[in-house]
Chains A and B, each alone.
Chain A
Amino acid sequence: DTEVTQTPKHLVMGMTNKKSLKCEQHMGHRAMYWYKQKAKKPPELMFVYSYEKLSINESVPSRFSPECPNSSLLNLHLHALQPEDSALYLCASRRGEGSGANVLTFGAGSRLTVL
C-alpha cells in the first residue's frame, strides 16, 4: 500500500461547527505532515508529527488542533474557524529516519469551505 488516504474530500462548515479531517497511511512512515494550500500559493507547513509526537507547529492558531493517535493515523480537529481558513488541506507522510533524502507522499487533500 503506497497511498495516503484523506477524508473527507470536501467539507463545508459554519464558523461555530466542530469538525475533523482524517489522514491515514499504511506504509510504515513515522513522520506525518499537515499543509494548508490556498489558491495559486504553494503548500504552507502547519504541523509535523514524528514518531507520534508533535515536533513542529508553525505558529498555527489554536482553532486548528492536530492529533496523532497512532503511527498510521493523523487528524486535524477544526473549531471556530474563519472564512479565511477555507483552503485545501494536504496530509503527507515520510519515512521517519534522520535523512533529508526521504520524500513526502501526499494524500489527495480535503477541500474545506468555511461559511
Chain B
Amino acid sequence: ILNVEQSPQSLHVQEGDSTNFTCSFPSSNFYALHWYRWETAKSPEALFVMTLNGDEKKKGRISATLNTKEGYSYLYIKGSQPEDSATYLCALVSGGYQKVTFGTGTKLQVIP
C-alpha cells in the first residue's frame, strides 16, 4: 500500500494571505507527481505535472516544487482568493506509470 500523505488536512485563510501545503510520498518507484484541484460539485482538474527532481511549476498565483530524493512536493498559493477554495490533491504515479495513487488531500477555505 502506497502512503501518500498531505498536510494540513484543512486550512482556513483570509483573502489575500499566501499559503502552502505539503505532499509526502515514498520516493522509490517514482514516475511523476500530479496536483489536482477539486471544487465542490465539480470533477477534479489537473493543475501540475512534475517529473524531475527540482521541478518548479507555476500557473498564475499557484506554484509547486518537487523533491524526489526526499519524497515531498509543496504547493503554494500567493494572495489567496475565495475562488481558490477547494480540496487540493496530489497524486503519485508509480507501478509502470499506470498506477495513480491520491494523497489524503488538503481542504482550503479562503474567507473573504
B-contacting residues of A (Cβ < 8 Å)? 4, 31, 33, 35, 41-45, 48, 50, 55-56, 90, 94, 98-109
Contacts and interface: CB of A to CB of B under 8 A. Distances in A.
B44 interface: yes
A9 to B, nearest CB: 11
> Which size class do B's interface residues fall under?
20 to 34
B102 A103 contact: no
Contacts of B105: 42
Interface string B78-100: 00000000000101010111111
B43 A100 contact: no
Contacts, number: 60
Given A42-B89, A42-B104, A103 B34 contact: yes
Given A55-B98, A106-B44, A100 B89 contact: no
The 10 closest A-B pairs by CB, nearest first: A100-B32, A100-B31, A103-B46, A100-B93, A106-B43, A42-B102, A100-B97, A101-B49, A106-B44, A43-B102
Interface of B: 31-32, 34, 36, 42-46, 49, 51, 89, 91, 93, 95-105
22 contacts: A35-B102, A42-B104, A43-B44, A43-B102, A45-B100, A48-B98, A56-B98, A98-B97, A99-B32, A100-B31, A100-B97, A101-B32, A101-B49, A103-B34, A104-B36, A104-B44, A104-B46, A104-B100, A105-B46, A106-B43, A106-B45, A108-B43
